[in-house]
Structure 1
Amino acid sequence: MNPIDYIDQQRDEIIKTYHELHAIAEPSWREEKTSKYILNCLKKAGIKTKIFQGHYGIVAEIPGKTNEVVALRADMDALLQEVDGVVKANHSCGHDAHSTMGLFTALAIASSGIKPKNTIRFIFQPAEEKGEGALQMMKEGVLENVSYLFGVHVRPKVEVPFNQASTVIVHGSAATIKGKIQGVQAHASHPEAGINAIEVAAQLVDKFKQIKIQTEVPYSIKMTQLHTENESTNIIPETAFFSLDARAQTNDVMNQLQLLTQETVDQIIHETGAKITWTLEELVPAAIVNKDAMEITQLAIETILGKENVIPVCISQGGEDFHFYTAKTPGLTATMVGLGCDLAPGLHHPQMKFNLEALIYGTKILTETIVIASDK
């Protein structure tokens, strides 16, 4: 059976699968039920699978005539966030949609009986939301012999309209910086005898606002958390902990932000006498645009939706750990499809919704992409 015809026949099952994955949302590194669900579907279809010790990632393969591999990656985890007053795992970033489309791409190709030129590998990845899953999967060797890698992400309707798709998502680099300010405690009646950690933090905020980089590339660095353990109102606080959110549309500008962060901290240390330490955490790199991969996704989108519904580039200042695969593997031909789906109010919004019809044409686009690439 033609894999595209299979997808049409499985329309109701695709929607059902999405709802079932949505209902068992699980946070990063705890995707047990999600992984078991996907694994069972793959095994029923007779697709070769591999699981790992210590996490719930899955690799599935359809053997080809060569050892060269074309891969499709889908993420599985959900966010922990407050929804209607309750903190719970919630698929507000659409990973349940990505897993659904990745799964049915595998099922469609397997059902067709196609013997591809190149081996086709499906990577179901944990912990994207923590920016750690791609790195772990690379340690497991999932990129062995991979020459082409593709991914997908649902997009807000303000970026990519419904029934359209982009050949690439140019995500920016994002990082969290965690820091500690060590001042000197004093009684509030003699503030001159101490170094107020909160006032030091305020100076940091002001200095970060003054950072200017000579570039047209969008960037930002903002303090997003600040707290002390001081429980007395008449004591100058000596210790404060802070977090910074750093973003840049390119990896070069993110590197500059890191250097400027250290310069800023050094200036405040000199001006205040406080001790300040910081570490870079949860860094995800910016996208590396690959024209060869984009040509393949463009052809796939044109085939499924028509030329008029191809969006050449989707720019996003959000981060995505998919880009670790390319950042750590020079020469890898890769891109991520931006799927228009009428998504609103926005990604990571607790009430995020999208038009489920996009799951059908999204699966078709991914299937066409993998079929084209597997014959290269």
Structure 2
Amino acid sequence: MSVKAVCDYLKERQDEIIRTYEELHLLAEPSWQEEKTSQYLANRLKEAGLTVKTYPDHFGLTVDIEGEEKEIVGLRADMDALVQEVNGVVKPNHSCGHDGHSTMVLYAALAFAATGIRPKKSVRFLFQPAEEKVGGALQMLKDGALDGVSMLFGVHVRPVMELANGTAAPAIIHGASASVHGSISGLQAHASRPERGRNVIETAAVLVQSLQNIRLQAGCSFSVKMTQLTAGGETSNVIPDKATFKLDLRAQSNEGMKELQEKLGHVIDHVSTLMGTPIEWKIPGEVPAAILNEQAEGLMREAIAQVLGAENVEQPCVSPGGEDFHFYTYHKPELAGTMLGLGCGLAPGLHHPEMSFDTKALTAGAQILATALLYAASGKDV
């Protein structure tokens, strides 16, 4: 292994790493539209003598460094930005740190190339599109980007309330999340004769109250909340007969999410029968919870200790948020995976339009990721 050579290479390029981050920050592009970002990364990788694989249906990239064995260990970054209002203007904005993630993974790849490492196992660097729209990981799986990969690392910058600057966690325990889209059908009537109608707003109100009675046996934290409701027209004296709604579902485990969806179905059926208003619903998208792997987490823990010191290794972050990285381990149960949680002074918080962090932490992040990858590629055990 050449941990020292890789870490020295990255330390010497701290200013360059920050400059790269700033350039990627300005390129902010929405999910599935990461053309300039992808081209920027591809050019930098090609300049280093690496062979870049592109895909016909999206802007994702992969780069392989051949090892002595065919088994592959991987490192993944996401590339897309949010679309949100910033100072009164709606535009793509990197307020989730994906520009920082791409920077760290790019420089881990450049460090491998510059130091001429030929690891025992082969190494793959993945730059994934569309994390924010929850489709990128599934598309990469469909395209075979994870074929042959036995272990996969990821990274996410963490808010200061979770991790202090200069510390890091060897895993992020994201929860499962799902979005429910539904509609309620009632019967119109004049508001002076409400008994002749079936009011969909009243059905929605009963549904909201009934959701609060859900309890799970799975023993994990969860929430189910109505986040959107649209009903009625412009007049105030008509009982409305159509409504649409959206629910946000969260559970800290995949088992909890399965139980939550089952109990949600029972609640909706009960309310529909009680109120005499048919309710149709579907789940157009969901994200699985993290699946922990002791080997991957252990290698990441040792990598953090190597770079930051053992005193700066924190416990895994427990996050109620979702992350499509976990589709990889969910759909490939044999795949060992973990995400580095990087403390970097991030404030006010993820997805805040004015989010910022200490960009010097990107160097340490790249060092940790490259070290964990070297450990995995060498077959190191923990």
TM-score, normalised to structure 2's length? Answer: 0.96
How far apart are 1:13 and its partner, in Å?
1.2
| Correspondence for 1:75 | 78
- Is 1:110 the counterpart of 2:113? The answer is yes
Q: Which residue of 2 aligns with 1:251?
A: 254
- Would you say 1:66 and 2:63 are equivalent positions? no
What's 1:189 paired with?
Answer: 192
- Which position in structure 2 is the counterpart of 1:152? 155
Displacement of 1:60 in angstroms is 0.9
1:338 CA displacement: 0.4
Q: Report the Cα distance in structure 1 between the residues aligned to 2:351 and 2:217, rounded to whole angstroms.
A: 31
Contact 2:347 2:356 in 1 (8 A): yes
Partner letter of residue 316 of structure 1?
S
**Counterpart-to-counterpart distance in 2, 1:250 and 1:233:** 44
Matched AA of 2:24: L
Give the letter aligned to residue 9 of structure 1: E
- Of residues 344, 349, 363 in structure 1, which corresponds to 2:366? 363
Residue type of the alignment partner of 1:134: A
2:354 to 320, 326, 351: 351
Q: State how 1:304-319 maps to structure 2 within 5 Å.
A: 304-319=307-322
Paired residue type of 1:201: A
Structure 1 segments unaligned to the other structure (5+ residues): none
Residue 166 (structure 1) aligns with: 169
1:237: Cα distance to partner?
1.1
Q: Does 1:219 align with 2:222?
A: yes
Q: Distance in 2 between matches of 1:28 and 1:191?
A: 46
1:229 Cα deviation after fit: 5.4
What is the SS of the residue equivalent to 1:56? strand
Match of 2:238 among 225, 235, 247: 235
- Cα distance in structure 2, aligned partners of 1:192 and 1:124: 58
Asked whether the 8 Å contact 2:153–2:340 carries over to 1, the reply is yes
Q: Distance in 2 between matches of 1:370 and 1:39?
A: 20
Kindly state the Cα deviation for residue 232 of structure 1 after the two structures are TM-superposed.
2.2
Q: Given residue 328 of structure 2, which amino acid in structure 1 is its aligned partner? A: Y
How many corresponding residue pairs? 376
1:25 paired residue number? 28
**Offset at 1:37?**
0.7
Distance 1:229 1:352 in 2: 38
> Which contiguous aligned blocks of 4+ residues in structure 1 show a shift greater than 4 angstroms?
none
Is structure 2 residue 143 aligned with structure 1 residue 140? yes
Matched, 1:89 2:92: yes
Deviation (angstroms), 1:101:
0.3
State the distance in 2 between where 1:52 and 1:96 align: 20
Residue 328 of structure 1: which of 322, 327, 331 is its match? 331
Q: Does 1:269 find its partner at 2:272?
A: yes
CA distance in 2 between partners of 1:228 and 1:125 (Å): 38
CA distance in 2, matches of 1:51, 1:192: 62
Task: State the partner residue of 1:54.
Answer: 57
Question: Who is 1:101 aligned against?
Answer: 104
- SS of residue in 1 equivalent to 2:91: strand
Please give the per-residue CA displacement for 1:100-122, whole angstroms capped at 9, x wherever unaligned: 00101100111000111111101
Output one character per residue of 1:308-353: Cα deviation in whole Å (capped at 9) or x when no partner.
0111311111100000000000121111010001111111111111
Q: Give the 3-state SS of the residue equivalent to 1:181 in structure 2.
A: strand
What letter matches 2:372 in structure 1?
Answer: T
Alpha-carbon distance, 1:63 to partner? 1.1
1:287 aligns with 2:290: yes
Q: CA RMSD in A?
A: 1.1
Compute the displacement of 1:161 (Å): 1.1
TM-score normalised by length of structure 1: 0.98
Distance in structure 2 (CA, Å) of the matches to 1:34 and 1:229 = 44
Contact 2:219/2:256 (<8 A) preserved = no
Deviations 1:238-281 (A, max 9, x none): 11111101001000111111001100110011101111111112
| Residue aligned with 2:59, SS | coil
Matched-pair contact (CA < 8 Å) for 2:174–2:318: yes
Counting aligned pairs with the same residue, the percent is 52
Pair 1:13-2:16 in alignment: yes
AA matched with 1:271: L
Unaligned runs of 5+ residues in structure 2 are none
Q: Is the 8 A contact 1:132 1:282 kept in 2?
A: no
The one-letter amino acid paired with 2:8 is D
Cα distance in 2 for partners of 1:238, 1:83 equals 37
Contact 2:232 2:241 in 1 (8 A): no
After alignment, is 15-24 or 221-230 more displaced? 221-230
Give, as a single letter, the amino acid of the residue that structure 1 aligns with 2:85: E
Query: In the alignment, residue 236 of structure 1 is paired with which amino acid?
Result: I
Contact 1:130 / 1:282 at 8 angstroms: preserved in 2?
A: no
- Alignment check: 8 A CA contact 1:187 1:236 kept: yes
